[in-house]
């Protein structure tokens, strides 16, 4: 019962993260946001947002802004995942006896141990917030200067000048905005696109354990599908 409630709670938690980010994403894309009472409900759901930058209040540090938030939000989970892979490799290849290893026996240890599970769980829980942070990097706001010219700034941080429309002539864009956009493009592939495929592959490779419920009724919890 506890495991079943935990899985249901995880699904609800991730869903609330996605719902709470919808109004801001609408505004970043040029919309007016969502009307009441939906906007009131989503504002209340913002408590479920796992924003690393906001959790440690890094935005209170002088000189920090969207650029620093983007770097921290994308590099921290990646660095943590790499660290956990290294830790798991040490445990698996150096500290685990050969007779305790068996990928097909649910009662024995597998490469997807505790460190790997913690890495996948971090990616799973933080993915909606990270994806939202990445996607707003491509949106600029236009301000009319009153003399026929326009001034473009990033929708996520008005201190960063775009130099031109985000989908316009690349030569008209500022070097800072182009660097942010190119950086976000790389992590757009890694997080919103590649990470869900990686989690799907993880579930697919453990489909027999999921169907047979080894993770619920076996002698040992199936580490590889602990986030299922």
Domain ranges of the chain: 1-49, 50-225
For position 93, what pLDDT does the model report?
Answer: 85
Which residue, 201, 32, 51, 57, is CA-closest to 134? 51
User: Mean pLDDT, to the nearest integer, of 134-138?
Assistant: 90
For position 141, what pLDDT does the model report?
Answer: 86
Whether the pLDDT of residue 223 is over 50: the answer is no
Secondary structure of residue 141 in the 3-state scheme: strand
**Alpha helices for the chain (secondary structure H):** 2-28, 38-44, 52-55, 66-90, 114-135, 175-188, 195-205, 207-211, 214-217
For position 86, what pLDDT does the model report?
Answer: 93
For position 82, what pLDDT does the model report?
Answer: 94
Q: Which has the higher per-residue pLDDT, 119 or 61?
A: 119
Which residue, 109, 61, 73, is CA-closest to 187? 73
Whether the pLDDT of residue 180 is over 90: the answer is yes
Which residue, 111, 126, 163, is CA-closest to 141? 163
- What's the DSSP call for residue 46? G
Whether the pLDDT of residue 108 is over 50: the answer is yes
Average per-residue pLDDT in the chain?
Answer: 79
């Amino acid at each position: 019962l506890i495991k079943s409630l935990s899985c249901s709670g995880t699904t609800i938690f991730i869903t609330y993260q996605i719902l709470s980010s919808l109004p801001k994403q609408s505004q970043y894309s040029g919309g007016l946001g969502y009307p009441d009472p939906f906007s009131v409900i989503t504002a209340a759901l913002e408590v479920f947002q796992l924003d690393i930058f906001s959790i440690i209040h890094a935005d209170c540090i002088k000189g920090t802004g969207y650029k620093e938030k983007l770097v921290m939000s994308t590099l921290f989970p990646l660095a943590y995942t790499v660290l956990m892979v290294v830790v798991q490799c040490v445990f698996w290849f150096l500290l685990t006896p050969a007779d305790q290893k068996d990928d097909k026996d649910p009662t024995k240890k597998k490469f997807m141990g505790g460190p790997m599970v913690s890495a996948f769980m971090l990616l799973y829980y933080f993915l909606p917030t990270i994806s939202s942070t990445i996607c707003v990097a491509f949106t600029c706001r236009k301000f009319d200067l009153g003399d026929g010219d326009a001034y473009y700034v990033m929708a996520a941080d008005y201190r960063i000048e775009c130099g031109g429309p985000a989908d316009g002539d690349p030569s008209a864009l500022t070097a800072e905005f182009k660097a942010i956009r190119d950086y976000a493009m790389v992590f757009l592939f890694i997080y919103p696109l590649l990470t869900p495929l990686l989690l799907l592959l993880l579930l697919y490779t453990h489909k027999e354990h999921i169907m047979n419920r080894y993770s619920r009724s076996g002698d040992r919890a199936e580490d590889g599908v602990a986030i299922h």
